[in-house]
Amino acid sequence: MGSFIIEGRNSLEGIVDIGGSKNAALPVLASTVINGREYLLENVPDIEDVRDMLEILEIMGCTAQYDNGVALIDTRGLNTSQVPERLVKRIRSSIILMGAILQRTGNVEISYPGGCEIGLRPIDLHLKGLRKLGVEIHEKNGLLSCSVAEPTGCEIQLDYPSVGATENIMLFAVGIPGKSVIYNPAKEPEIVDLQNFLNKCGYCVNGAGTGSIVIEGKKLKNTDSVEYKIISDRIEAGTYLSAASSIKSKIYIRNIEKSHFKSIISIYEDAGCEIRETHGIIVIENKGRIRAIEKVTTQPYPGFPTDMQAQFMASMATADGITIIEETVFDSRYKHVPELQKMGANITTIGRVAVIEGVDRLYSAEVEAKDLRGGAALVIAALGAEGTTKINNVYHINRGYEKFLYKLQNLGVIITETNE
């Protein structure tokens, strides 16, 4: 499962290059099956989740090559509409293959992804939207069997701006006759990226990033190959910002669109970090102990992202004062709290609220990564801790952070990975 060994009381200095966005790459990879053609995708992150998604495509008859951020995919050979259950369980976001495969073949069998480390994660909004577009869905023993006879475009009002539901509905609606409108969709930059990719393929999608997405559905005749560059990962950039805030630092973050993580930047500025942009590079300077932030609530984009909650908590564990965090997006995203407490953090949780009283310093301990972002939070905590911290189960971290160890080493962190 692997462990990180991190020597604390470091400072951070240097340049970090941000990789492609995990949460943009996964839906783009899924949507390559809608049409059998060749795709050349750039800025695809080198992470386990991407490798699993490529393996699913290969098992289903497509070909996929990956090297150094570039994926070459050929989906002409897709020969099944059954998504392999073993991999669906491993990579929850494979549920977005549902809309894409349905669009290509008219039916799909996929197992219900179920809950995970961060909560129950139902997919009722995905299913409601697809049913409205004419999909018949039967569930038996955790297997979803979906088919479609006469799909028609329609208006769909999402009860909550779910990222995955918005993507699944987009991927199915692009190819059905008529106009579909998604009201109250997710507005994340990853949704805008998916729209841009679909339009590059020849579809007609507008409005992503606003209060409604309008899709003029059509069948594509053109099967020329498609080239596309995926946006960079705002949460990866936010994680390095968070790391810089927790110890003395001066780091340069390259290859990231600043407007994609404004809400993160503004909170760390309020906490006392100096952040500026020069020639497209974001420079972060932290000269001492940062200030606590009275209250932060996680929200769908453009609010403060739930995917930064754990890392922010780790920064606030040694800030001056008391911070209150309210996690409104997921119901069980505080699994990192007991681990941070083992390192001396003073954190109390009551339901979805966490109260963090900043301590002067954290101490090393043997801790366990329980999920991706919680694992990153432990790395951040270990950077400023007294002594050497061992973080177990780092495969959770490697699922979503590209070359994390290498990038931290480049910033001067004394960190190694061991399988002992």
The one among 9, 37, 121, 352 contacting ligand EPU by CB under 6 A: 121
Q: In degrees to the nearest 10, what's the CA dihedral of 61, 65, 66, 67?
A: 170
Q: Is 114 in the site for ligand EPU (CB under 6 A)?
A: no
* 372 touching ligand EPU, by CB under 6 A: yes
Residue of closest CB approach to ligand EPU: 164
Near ligand EPU by CB under 6 A: residue from 54, 123, 169, 275: 123
* Cα 380–chain centre separation: 18
Q: How far is the CB of 337 from ligand EPU (least distance, A)?
A: 17
Applying CB under 6 A, which of residues 81, 94, 306, 389 lies at the interface with ligand EPU? Answer: 306
Member of 40, 80, 124, 395 binding ligand EPU (CB under 6 A):
124
Part of the chain binding ligand EPU (CB under 6 A), chosen from 32-40, 71-79, 123-131, 385-393? 123-131
Residue 193 makes contact with ligand EPU by CB under 6 A:
no
CA dist., res. 58 & res. 238, Å (int): 33
Binder among 142, 155, 160, 294 for ligand EPU (CB under 6 A): 160
Total of residues contacting ligand EPU (CB under 6 A)? 26
Could you report how far apart the first and last alpha carbons of the chain are, in Å? Answer: 9
Q: Is 55 exposed, middle or buried (0-12, 13-18, 19+ CB in 10 A)?
A: middle
> Which lies closer to ligand EPU via its Cβ, residue 16 or residue 26?
26
**Cα distance between residue 355 and residue 357, in whole Å:** 7
Q: Which of 16, 18, 25, 26 binds ligand EPU (CB under 6 A)?
A: 26
Q: Which of 288, 289, 247, 297 is nearest to 267 (CA)?
A: 297
Record the tokens describing residue 11, joined without a space: 């400072």
H helices of 93-233, in order, are 97-105, 124-132, 163-173, 189-201
Q: Which two tokens stand for residue 392?
A: 């177990």
Find out whether 45 and 235 touch, Cβ atoms under 8 Å. Answer: no
140, 117 in Cβ contact below 8 A?
A: no
- Annotated catalytic, 62? no
* Cβ closest to ligand EPU, residue 289 vs residue 407: 407
Residue from 62, 116, 204, 273 carrying the catalytic annotation: 116
Identity of the residue, 90 or 121, whose beta carbon is nearer to ligand EPU in the bound complex: 121
Q: Should residue 232 be labelled a site residue for ligand EPU when binding is judged by CB under 6 A?
A: no
- Does position 91 bind ligand EPU by CB under 6 A? no
Two tokens at 142?
A: 């955790």
Question: Can you read off the two tokens belonging to residue 6?
Answer: 């991190």
Amino acid at 19: G
CA dist., res. 352 & res. 145, Å (int): 35
Sites for ligand EPU among residues 384-413 (CB under 6 A) = 400
**Which range touches ligand EPU (CB under 6 A), out of 35-43, 157-165, 273-281, 334-342?**
157-165
Nearer to ligand EPU, 20 or 400 (CB): 400
Residues 303 and 80: their CA atoms lie apart, in Å, by 39
Contacts of residue 141, defined as CB under 8 A and 6 or more positions apart, other chains included, come to none
126 near ligand EPU, rule: CB under 6 A:
yes
> Among 373, 377, 385, 413, which residue sits at the site for ligand EPU (rule: CB under 6 A)?
373
Q: Show the tokens assigned to 147.
A: 């088919």
Among positions 329, 347, 391, 415, the unique one binding ligand EPU when judged by CB under 6 A: 329
Q: Which of 45, 164, 238, 374 binds ligand EPU (CB under 6 A)?
A: 164
Q: Which is nearer to ligand EPU, 104 or 234 (CB)?
A: 234
- Helix H or strand E encompassing 265: helix 262-270
Binds ligand EPU (CB under 6 A): choice among 93, 94, 249, 392: 93
Q: Is 34 one of the binding residues for ligand EPU (CB under 6 A)? A: no
Q: What is the DSSP letter of 16?
A: E
Residues 6+ apart with CB under 8 A from 406: none
Residue from 194, 222, 242, 185 nearest 374 by CA = 242
**Which of 130, 215, 206, 125 is closest to 174 using CA atoms?**
215
Please, which residues bridge with residue 174 across strands?
none
- Contact between 122 and ligand EPU by CB under 6 A: the answer reads yes
Query: Closest approach of Cβ 67 to ligand EPU, in Å?
Result: 23
Nearer residue to ligand EPU within complex by CB, 305 or 344: 305
Q: Report the interface residues with ligand EPU, using CB under 6 A.
A: 22-23, 26, 93, 119-126, 160, 162-165, 186, 305-307, 329-330, 372-373, 400
Residues designated catalytic: 116
